[in-house]
Chains A and B, each alone.
Chain A
Amino acid sequence: QLQLQESGPGLVKPSETLSLTCSVSGGSITGGSYYWVWVRQPPGKGLEWIGSIYYSGGSYYNPSLKSRVTISVDMSKNQFSLKLSSVTAADTAVYYCARGLGIRGHLDYWGQGTLVPVSS
């Protein structure tokens, strides 16, 4: 059974960079036609796609966040990571990592999510 687990600092200050890692277990990050995805959900609001990456490096980002987002893969650790720069209070959200079937497909496995407040 595939499992995903987010990890990272529990609090980020305004103007700093938010960094999260998603550890994948129970399967290889290089297997199949899967994309590895970051999604966030501000408190009380809906889901927002941040970006997706294929293990070989092809990546796609939400145009509204593209200038601040970097998603990368570490095949040796079976992990992928998110960096979001110049954060503000508007970036406070629960951040989820997930597996997607292709860039357009459904997200079949999700991490439990991690709340990242942005506050001084």
Chain B
Amino acid sequence: QSVLTQPPSVSGAPGQRVTISCTGSSSNIGADYDVHWYQQLPGTAPKLLIYGNNNRPSGVPDRFSGSKSGTSASLAITGLQAEDEADYCCQSYDSSLRVVFGGGTKLTVL
């Protein structure tokens, strides 16, 4: 069981907006630790998508955005494209002195 909870799957049609939630607790996200997001295409290593809750690394389209509130965080993708079909995973830090990940969410573009 992952410390951070994500929905196993989400889907959307091209051009639509989808959101992926990441739910933690008072010992991680709720303790004001940052949330980061990764995109993982099939058979490849994770790629940093959002860091520090809502910052995009150079080269990541502004269709991707992150937010955080209380013990949860969300990743939003607007203008959905076929190339966005991938697994998405959130990461934070826990007061038990460990890095924690979500279980991952598979995004399907219909």
A49 to B44, CA, bound (A): 17
Contacts of A112 in B (CB 8 A): 44-45
Contacts of A45 in B (CB 8 A): 103
Inter-subunit contact A111/B45 (CB<8 Å) = yes
A49 to B94, CA, bound (A): 12
Interface set, chain A 69-110, CB cutoff 8 A to B: 96, 100-101, 103-108, 110
Interface size grouping (class) on chain A: 20 to 34
Inter-subunit contact B103/A46 (CB<8 Å) = yes
Inter-subunit contact B45/A104 (CB<8 Å) = no
Interface set, chain A 32-50, CB cutoff 8 A to B: 37, 39, 45-49
Inter-subunit contact B99/A108 (CB<8 Å) = no
- Contact among B45, B48, B52, B100 with A49 in the assembled complex (CB-CB below 8 Å): B100
Least CB distance from A110 to B in Å reads: 4
Inter-subunit contact B91/A106 (CB<8 Å) = yes
Residue A31, interface by CB 8 Å = no
The chain A residue with its CB closest to the CB of B100 is A49
Least CB distance from B38 to A in Å reads: 8
A50 to B57, CA, bound (A): 24
Bitwise, B14-53 to A at CB < 8 A (1) or not (0) is 0000000000000000000110101000001111100110
A63 to B46, CA, bound (A): 23
Interface set, chain A 5-56, CB cutoff 8 A to B: 37, 39, 45-49, 52
* Residue of B45, B46, B51, B103 contacting most chain A CB atoms (<10 Å): B45
**What are 7 A-to-B residue pairs whose CB atoms are below 8 Å?**
A47-B46, A62-B99, A103-B99, A104-B99, A105-B34, A107-B36, A108-B51
Q: Which residues of B contact A (CB under 8 A)?
A: 2, 33-34, 36, 38, 44-48, 51-52, 57, 89, 91, 93, 96-104
| Chain A to chain B: the 3 pairs with minimum beta-carbon distance, closest first | A106-B51, A49-B99, A104-B93
Given contacts A105-B36, A107-B36, 10 further A-B contacts (CB under 8 A): A46-B102, A47-B46, A47-B89, A49-B98, A96-B46, A104-B34, A105-B51, A107-B91, A110-B45, A110-B47
